[in-house]
Amino acid sequence: MSHVTLRDIAKKADVSATTVSRALNNKPDVSSKTKDKILRIAKNLGYTSNLLAKSLRSRKSKTIGVVLTDISNPFFAAIAKGIESAAHKRGYSIILCNTDEKYEKEEEALQVLVEKRVDGLLITPVQKEYQDILRIKERRIPLVSIARHFDTIETDSVVSDDVLGGFLATEYLIKKGHKRILYISGPLHVSSASERLKGYKRALKKYKIPFKEKLVRGYTAKMGKAYTLTRRILKEKLDFTAIFTFSDFLALGVMKAIREEKLKIPDDVAIVGYDDIEFASALEIPLTTVHMPKYRLGTEGTNMLIDEIEGRSTHRKPQKLVFKPELIARKSA
């Protein structure tokens, strides 16, 4: 017999399964004598409650689904850590899924998570489409969008003000005397990327620098792609003196390409990243960047979600939490 059940204990203790259940769950209406007896026997038998059965019965799985685009990216890894920690503190486990920035994978992940009856969902949506999200909403499964948000549909969300962040980064470079600033963007269907671009444009406008289409490139989230792209751009002799990258992760690839061309940072090319990942400060040339409270994005998102799940929040409207980003000036610009 692999797993001990309430019945097994009940038999040994010569009581009903109901009583065992009560004793094990610290419910009232059990004499301390029988309770002690039951607890002792449960321990001897090595009883472990079956949460599948419990969940089926209670309609609560104490599990939340976490859908991220890439855990090996330190930005998401930090968020994941915050999520795990907050979830654990409140007694929840997390099922983690990677989407690789692909909508079909997101769709599939959500499907399985619903089948596994997670109590709620935390997601950095791919945003190429969002019907899968709508389906979740229809089912009234609590969902919190992290680090990204939708314009067209309403969901709870925990984000940072990316327009402001893009503005701060660009303004910083402008104040350092740069006028031709290259923006290596993330994919534009991702809200954080498009909003940082908006902030970039806004800063240019404020300082009366004309916006140039050709100074926006990339549309990727991958470090390797940022590297090859930068190499190509450097060959093109594109005219710029500074680069603002969508993320520190991309900045790493960009810096590598620049170094290979023997250009000096920040003298030949100034660089401002985004996210303030742990390594940003450990680099040979510490990276000037926009700080994102990654860990807190994770913890706050999780708490918002669990409040929703447990009905503490009876908000009719979607909850929104928006952090204010800050520029961290270091050596790269």
Residues within the interface to a second copy (CB under 8 A): 2-3, 46, 48-53, 55-56, 61, 63, 70-72, 74, 77-78, 80-81, 84-85, 88, 93-98, 111-117, 135, 138-140, 223, 227, 252-253, 255-256, 259, 278-279, 281-285
Q: Does 109 bind DNA (CB under 7 A)?
A: no
Helix%, strand%, coil% for the chain, nearest 5: 45, 15, 40
Least gap, CB of 50 to DNA (angstroms): 3
25 — alpha (psi -120 to 50), left (phi > 0) or beta? alpha
Q: List, in sequence order, every residue forming a beta bridge with 67; answer none if it has no partner.
A: 97, 123
Contact with DNA (CB under 7 A): which of 33, 139, 235, 237? 33
Residue 29 contact, options DNA, a second copy, none, Cβ 5-8 Å cut-off depending on partner type = DNA
Residue 209 contact, options a second copy, DNA, none, Cβ 5-8 Å cut-off depending on partner type = none
Least gap, CB of 298 to DNA (angstroms): 30
User: Is 39 or 71 the residue whose CB approaches a second copy more closely?
Assistant: 71
- The tokens of 254 are what? 């960009």
User: Is 205 or 264 the residue whose CB approaches a second copy more closely?
Assistant: 264
Distance separating alpha carbons of residues 91 and 62, to the nearest angstrom: 7
User: Is 43 or 315 the residue whose CB approaches DNA more closely?
Assistant: 43
Query: 3-state DSSP call for residue 264?
Result: coil
Residue type, 190: V
Residue 313 contact, options DNA, a second copy, none, Cβ 5-8 Å cut-off depending on partner type = none
One-character DSSP codes across 242-257: EEEES-HHHHHHHHHH
Whether residue 187 has a cis bond before it, omega within 30° of 0: no
Distance between start and end Cα atoms, the chain: 66
User: Is 29 or 284 the residue whose CB approaches DNA more closely?
Assistant: 29
User: Is 227 or 274 the residue whose CB approaches a second copy more closely?
Assistant: 227
- The tokens of 30 are what? 């059990």
Q: Give the ranges where 120-208 is alpha helix by DSSP (H).
A: 131-138, 162-175, 191-206
Least gap, CB of 62 to a second copy (angstroms): 8
Whether residue 51 contacts residue 34, with contact meaning beta carbons closer than 8 Å, is answered with no
User: Is 52 or 322 the residue whose CB approaches a second copy more closely?
Assistant: 52
Least gap, CB of 2 to DNA (angstroms): 8
Binders of DNA in range 59-88 (CB under 7 A): 59
Residue 34 contact, options a second copy, DNA, none, Cβ 5-8 Å cut-off depending on partner type = DNA
Q: Does 111 bind DNA (CB under 7 A)?
A: no
Q: Does 138 bind DNA (CB under 7 A)?
A: no
Distance separating alpha carbons of residues 283 and 291, to the nearest angstrom: 16
* Closest to 155 measured CA to CA, from 164, 166, 144: 144
Question: What are the start-end ranges of the E strands in the chain?
Answer: 63-68, 93-98, 120-123, 143-146, 156-160, 181-185, 216-218, 242-245, 270-272, 289-291, 320-323, 326-328
Contact with DNA (CB under 7 A): which of 26, 46, 57, 177? 57
User: Is 77 or 321 the residue whose CB approaches a second copy more closely?
Assistant: 77
Q: Does 31 bind DNA (CB under 7 A)?
A: yes
Residue 88 contact, options DNA, a second copy, none, Cβ 5-8 Å cut-off depending on partner type = a second copy
Overall residue count recorded for the chain in this entry? 333
**Chain positions contacting DNA, by CB under 7 A:** 3, 5-7, 14-19, 21-22, 24-25, 27-35, 49-50, 53-54, 56-59
